[in-house]
Amino acid sequence: MHDLVVRLLAKRGISDAAEVSAFLNPDYELHTHDPFLLHGMDVAVARLSSAIEKNERIAVYADFDCDGIPGAALLSDLFNKIGYENFEVYLPHRDREGYGFHAEAIEALAARGVKLIITVDVGTTAIDAVAYAKEKGVDVIVTDHHEISGELPDAVAVLNPKIAPYPFPHLCGAAVAFKLAQALLRSPTGELRKGAAVTLAGKHDIPEGWEKWLLDMVAIATVADMVPLIGENRALTHWGLQVLRKSPRPGIQALCNKLRLRQNELSESDIGFSIAPRVNAASRMDEPDLALRLLVTRDVAEAESLAAQLEKLNTKRKGVVASLVKQARTHVKERYKENDRVVVLGNPEWKPALLGLAANSLMSDRGGIVCLWGRDANGKLKGSCRSDGDVSLAELFENAGDVFEECGGHAASGGFTVSHEQVHQLPEVLTRAAEKLPPRADRVALEHDVSLALSDISSALFREVSKLAPFGVGNPKPVFLLSNTTITGVKRFGKENNHVEVMLECRTSGNSARAFDFFKSPQDFSFEPEPGQFASLLATIERDSYRGGLALRIVDILPISV
């Protein structure tokens, strides 16, 4: 093993031979868990099998983001594979309905004859909604991964990896839906579990292991939802990327063609920066079904049309968000000091579906916590928050008292609904709540992994670094410190000149390199680069998809004394 890989693994606390082997060579059978370890899986499989045998109408009720939609797609694929046509997918409208499992939707589904609802990426806290479904004669199987805050709903089963005895709590919502599909098709030990119906694979002549073709959706969702890319998630994403690179889905192929991505080389970066934003753009711009149809269609012409529509939506979304961020930045300068820990801004004209993106941009500008609110189509005030990680938003919401009508989320992102009476109290309430919370002890700033010279940057080095992929939360891309460099050029690029490129040359060897970052200006770094200056660079190594070869992606630029 290359010494660099050993050093990078050690920085991640991985040195034991077995751990190293598992990390570098994820094994699908060894490093993923039996789906029947999920509490309630036996009962869920029995109820779903019964519904299929009786030809009951089934609804997949999925969240509208790039976790719920891929999860809905893989369950649709499952039903189509076994020839089951009596099902539908319901995606709530982000603006009119918002996040959650809604009684109005349940009522509509029940009126259409639905007898079983399978949720995806939602439902763990939906006590009232599940009870309402029961009143309507509709059973519910919850597949979700969100935090458990107390009593569970009275569903047929609540499949959530955070419930014991499941050994890995960090699955995304689509991965839990995949576990249900996996369990339905086969009993991993070859024996029937207590309460489980006969598996369907044999009945429908489905090849053993066919469910692995669904892992492309699991990989997209796992990367997009930013769950930790460690343990089982690493194995699922590793093999999901293998599937994605040869996926026969016309929608994936059309999207790759539209975005000029090489499908056989797709990476987690392509998911995070190209595929996921477009899937999410569908619901943000009021057309969530567009993304689902793209993922499930088997028609090439339809896929090309949907990919084009999705790209237009995403372009429109970018323009609206850019305008919103520009307005918000002006308000930040007017109302907040540079060291203020919490920023809260709102405008009834702002579209809640886009506020998470805008909050993330502002948070990237200044760090801390940024919360933005707007008014939805029903007149409700809803908002999104982003945190740089020093304070968990879940803990912040807990300490905010009863200022919110609804709230929820993770450490880094969250959302809320607030009354017209309370909205103006938010800045004071959230600032006070943040003051009660010390910085998270588990957040460790990683300045750099290894120091390199520009002459070390090579295809061979990139291949070694790539052995640690897929990268993401819990396994960040290695950051390298490149010292002793001279800046030979600085320029902006992109249609809106909103990206920055820096040309570097080694002061001793004369080697040169291109470094870049998106949505940054030279003033955004610790040290503003200008031609002729000496500087040090914190950067990751990337494949240059535009010019070919390799490039450095800038994390920060530092004075040469560092």
DSSP state of 116: E
Which residue from 343, 284, 360 is spatially nearest to 519, judged by alpha carbons? Answer: 360
Whether residue 165 has a cis bond before it, omega within 30° of 0: yes
Question: What sign does the CA torsion over 132, 138, 139, 143 have?
Answer: negative
Q: Are residues 356 and 428 in the same domain?
A: yes
Does some domain include residue 18?
Answer: no
Tens-digit pLDDT profile for residues 259-288 = 999 999 999 999 999 999 999 999 999 999
Q: State the pLDDT at residue 446.
A: 44
Say if residue 369 is in the same domain as residue 458.
no
Q: What percent of the chain is modeled with pLDDT above 70?
A: 95
Same domain, 190 and 67: yes
- What is the CATH number for 411? 3.10.310.30
Write out pLDDT tens, residues 99-109: 899 999 999 99
Model pLDDT for residues 115-163, shown as the tens digit of each residue: 999 999 999 999 999 999 999 999 999 999 998 988 999 999 999 999 9
The yes-or-no verdict on residue 191 having pLDDT over 60 is no
**pLDDT: which is higher, 411 or 343:** 343
How much is the pLDDT for 152?
96
Averaged pLDDT for residues 550-557: 92
- Find the helix or strand (DSSP H, E) in which 315 lies: helix 300-335
Residue that is last in its domain, among 212, 233, 251: 212
Strands, sheet with 87-90, edge to edge from the N-terminal-most edge strand = 87-90, 57-62, 114-120, 139-143, 157-159
Residue with tokens 């292991």: 209
Return the pLDDT at 140. 98
Rounded Cα distance between 489 and 67, Å, is 41
Beta bridge partners of residue 551, listed in sequence order: 542
Residue 558 CA, distance from chain mean position: 31
Decide: helix, strand or coil at residue 342: strand
Name the burial class of residue 377, with classes exposed (0-12), middle (13-18) and buried (19+) by CB atoms within 10 angstroms of its CB: middle
Domain shared by 429 and 470, yes or no: no
The whole-number pLDDT of residue 524 equals 78
Q: Which helix (H) or strand (E) holds 536?
A: strand 534-543
Does the pLDDT of residue 219 top 90, yes or no? yes
CA distances in angstroms from 250 to 253, 258, 297, 309, listed in the order given: 5, 12, 7, 15
Going by pLDDT thresholds of 50, 70 and 90, the confidence category of residue 562 is very low
What is the reported pLDDT for 313? 95
Between 2 and 404, residue with greater pLDDT: 404
Confidence at residue 202, expressed as pLDDT on a 0 to 100 scale: 64
Please state, as a whole number, how many other Cβ atoms lie within 10 Å of the Cβ of residue 356.
Answer: 22
pLDDT tens-place string over residues 5-38: 999 999 889 999 999 999 999 999 999 999 999 9
d(CA 84, CA 88): 11
Task: Provide the residue type at 288 as one letter.
Answer: P
Which CATH number is 465's domain given?
2.40.50.460
Is 281 domain-assigned? no
- Is residue 316 one of the residues assigned to a domain? no
Question: What integer pLDDT is reported at residue 287 of this predicted model?
Answer: 94
Dist CA 240 CA 71 (whole Å): 13
State yes or no: pLDDT of 305 exceeds 60: yes
CATH, residue 155: 3.90.1640.30
Whether 512 and 393 map to the same domain: the answer is no
Phi-psi group of 345: left, alpha or beta (phi > 0 → left; psi -120 to 50 → alpha; rest → beta)? beta
**pLDDT for 466 beyond 90:** yes
Q: For residue 306, what pLDDT is reported?
A: 98
Residue 398 sits in the same domain as residue 531:
no
186 and 158 within one domain: yes
Q: Between these two residues, 206 and 253, which has the higher pLDDT value?
A: 253
Quick one: pLDDT band at residue 448, thresholds 50, 70, 90? Answer: confident
Whether residue 516 sits in one domain with residue 385: no
pLDDT average, residue stretch 433-455 = 74
Average pLDDT over residues 370-376: 97
CA distance linking residue 348 with residue 350, whole number of Å: 6
Domain-embedded: residue 101: yes
pLDDT for residue 326: 94
Average pLDDT in the chain: 91
Structural domain contains residue 168: yes
pLDDT tens-digit map of 243-262: 999 999 999 999 999 999 99
Residue 189 — very low, low, confident or very high, per pLDDT cuts 50/70/90? very low
Residues 423 and 460 in one domain: no
Same domain? 52 vs 186 = yes
Q: Are residues 497 and 349 in the same domain?
A: no
Domain boundary among 391, 410, 435: 435
Q: Where are the beta strands (DSSP E) in 395-498?
A: 406-409, 413-418, 450-452, 480-493
pLDDT at 194 over 60: no
Closest CA to 110 of 70, 71, 57: 57
Q: Which pair of tokens denotes residue 326?
A: 């520009």
End-to-end CA distance of the chain: 31
In the predicted model, is pLDDT for residue 559 greater than 90?
no
pTM (2 d.p.): 0.89
| Domain contains 49 | yes
Task: Read off the pLDDT band of 187 (50, 70, 90).
Answer: low
Does 1 score more than 90 pLDDT? no
For position 509, what pLDDT does the model report?
81
**High-pLDDT (> 90) share of the chain, %:** 76
Domain for residue 106, yes or no?
A: yes
- Burial (CB count within 10 angstroms: exposed 0-12, middle 13-18, buried 19+), residue 88: middle
Q: Say which amino acid occupies 68.
A: G
Tokens linked to 280: 């999410």
pLDDT value, residue 149? 81
Domain of 533? Answer: 450-559
Burial class (CB in 10 A: 0-12, 13-18, 19+), 330: exposed
Residue 437 has a pLDDT of 86
Quickly state the pLDDT bin for 197 (edges 50, 70, 90): very low
Q: Which residue has the higher pLDDT, 165 or 549?
A: 165
Number of neighbouring beta carbons within 10 Å of residue 561: 8
CA dihedral 477, 255, 364, 488 (to 10 degrees): 70
Structural domains in the chain (count): 3
Report, as an integer, the average pLDDT of 352-370.
92
Q: For residue 100, give every residue at least 6 positions away whose Cβ sits within 8 Å of its Cβ, in sequence order, or none.
A: 92, 122, 126, 129, 406
Q: Indicate if 115 and 158 belong to the same structural domain.
A: yes
**321 found inside a domain:** no
The pLDDT of residue 190 is 42
The predicted structure's pLDDT at residue 181: 97
